[in-house]
Amino acid sequence: MDSPLAGPRPGTVEHPLPGRPPGPRQDRGKWLPLVATCLGTFLLLVYATIATVALPRMATDLHADFGSLQWIVDVYTLALAGLLLGMGSLGDSLGRKRLYVIGLSVFTPATLACGLAPNVQVLIVARAVQGLAGAAMFATLLPLIGLTYSGDDRAKAFAVWGAVAGAAAGVGNVAGGMLTQFLSWQWIFYGAVPVCAATLALSVKVLAHDAGRPARIDWPGISAFTLAAVGLTFGFLRGGEKGWSDASTLLGFAVGGVLLAAFVLIERTTDTPMIPPALFRKPAFDGMLIASCGYYLAAFGFLPVLSLWLQNGAGLSSLGTALVLTVQPAAFFATSALAGRTLHRMPARWTIGGGTVVVGLGNLALLAVGPGSSWPALLPGLVVTGVGAGLVSPVLPAVAMSCAPPAHSGVAAAAANSARQLGLALGIALLGTVFHQYVPGTGAGTSHARYATALHAVFLLAAALSLAGGAAAIWLLGHRPATAGDAAGRSRP
């Protein structure tokens, strides 16, 4: 069986013949597809964080209550998590470039609509459309990189992609703080529109064409999983906001559970499943999903409550808070950029499983925060969690795609990203609920001792989940594949 990381089909992009050195024009242009996909990655991940610091200003300008502000952020995560796997399946069937370009074509006007929103309701709808388009982009980015590059170039490309993904969160925090403080919150959306348009033009020109696979699209499976993921993600987010016994929370979980069972039944009986059920019988695939969920939950799920403590407990401004939190993605970026190629040569159990364990150790380091602490106490833990996430991210795409046959490589990569987004939604809801057991409301006027107790409970829970997930992944990934680079090597002609 061919590797799911097989290179592009003949005639799709220009590559030198085997054994012949590339010409100057080919060499100059061979990284342009990576530029196009990294720009798309940067845009969609920036908008997962950039609005957070701007929420107080949005509340004033749009006369929005706390619940509406939560949904400005949450609806984007909800759309990403719910639609990623279905979009991955559509990309495999319709063609990855086609779906990526469609997604970017929708993302651009949706971003402009966010800036022009006259009220919070319109802003939430525009953010939902942004998330839908972002899911189409996110589900096809990694297969497009795998389609274009092979061997050593693929390892470099995935390492760069991982570094860009890590940098996006940090830039989102800082850019959101700066634009909101010195211009207005609308500019966090206006400023990206020219970048979106340029990325769209470049993508149309340089990305490899793939015709997809001529198979009947599994619309029942896509619909069932998408609605199931939306229901479960809604339940997690609503539980953190309204409580786990709230009627809407329970309804979300009930709908999600029923539709998830329906999805399993559909996939077992259809001739063209969205994702082959046999994948879930592969220990490496299961280990990859557990680690994807666990490291994202533990590395980033505590950031909203940490931001609350930095502003209301430690007395930092929104920009100061953003700068402190940027320490983590800076460590992520440095790890991915400096060690990305080396990580592809290491056993996947230690990069993915071991990286998830490192994230858990970083949460334990964050326990240094005490009643008399200020922001410097966070720095060691933020660095360690960033390093752990930076160990996982560059190799996760190759490992995910290597677990699936070529026709389903896109949906396998989307499954990994979907697990990460679901982990983030669960982390925000679960860790937020634990935090608010000790610090009710916004936390204004809460004593330092109560903040310290709340943060200790949050970091201990995150550490336990990450350490357990990392240990499970180390065991499961011990079966296959040996390294992420092996997948790249198997794809060479």
The 8-class DSSP code of residue 95 comes to -
Q: Give the bridge partners for 483, in sequence order.
A: 347
Q: Which helix (H) or strand (E) holds 436?
A: helix 409-438
According to the model, what pLDDT value does residue 227 have? 86
Tokens of 430: 């679960």
Q: 106-127 in b/e burial notation, b at 16+ Cβ within 10 A?
A: bbbebbbbbbebeebeebbebb
The whole-angstrom separation of Cα 51 and Cα 205 is 31
Cβ-contact 7, 150 below 8 angstroms: yes
The whole-angstrom separation of Cα 481 and Cα 493 is 19
Tokens of 136: 């189409």
Q: Name residues whose C-beta falls within 8 Å of residue 120's C-beta, 6 or more positions apart in sequence.
A: 58, 62, 63, 64, 68, 69, 72
Cβ-contact 284, 479 below 8 angstroms: yes
According to the model, what pLDDT value does residue 129 have? 92
According to the model, what pLDDT value does residue 298 have? 92
The whole-angstrom separation of Cα 301 and Cα 316 is 20
The whole-angstrom separation of Cα 241 and Cα 263 is 28
Q: Where are the domains of the chain?
A: 31-218+272-490, 219-271
Find, among 139, 140, 295, 144, the residue nearest to 229 by Cα.
Answer: 139
CA triple 160-162-167, angle to 5 deg: 95
Q: How many CA atoms lie within 13 A of 49 on its CB side?
A: 28
* Model pLDDT for residues 244-280, shown as the tens digit of each residue: 788 888 998 999 899 989 988 887 887 777 777 777 8
Cβ-contact 480, 282 below 8 angstroms: yes
Cβ-contact 130, 110 below 8 angstroms: yes
What's the CATH superfamily of 31-218+272-490? MFS general substrate transporter like domains (1.20.1250.20)
Compute φ and ψ for 483, nearest 5 degrees. Answer: -140, 160
Q: Give the bridge partners for 347, in sequence order.
A: 483
According to the model, what pLDDT value does residue 460 have? 93
The whole-angstrom separation of Cα 386 and Cα 375 is 16
Angle, nearest 10°, between helix axes 283-300 and 448-476? Answer: 170
Number of helices (H) and strands (E) in the chain: give both, helices first: 22, 0
R_g over Cα of the chain: 21
Q: Tokens 């680079």 sit at which residue?
A: 485
According to the model, what pLDDT value does residue 404 have? 72
What 3-state DSSP class applies to 228?
helix
Chain centre distance of CA 238: 20
Per this entry, what is the length of the chain? 493
pLDDT less than 70: residues of the chain: 1-28, 65-70, 166, 169-170, 173, 211-216, 240-241, 340-341, 344, 406-410, 440-447, 479-493
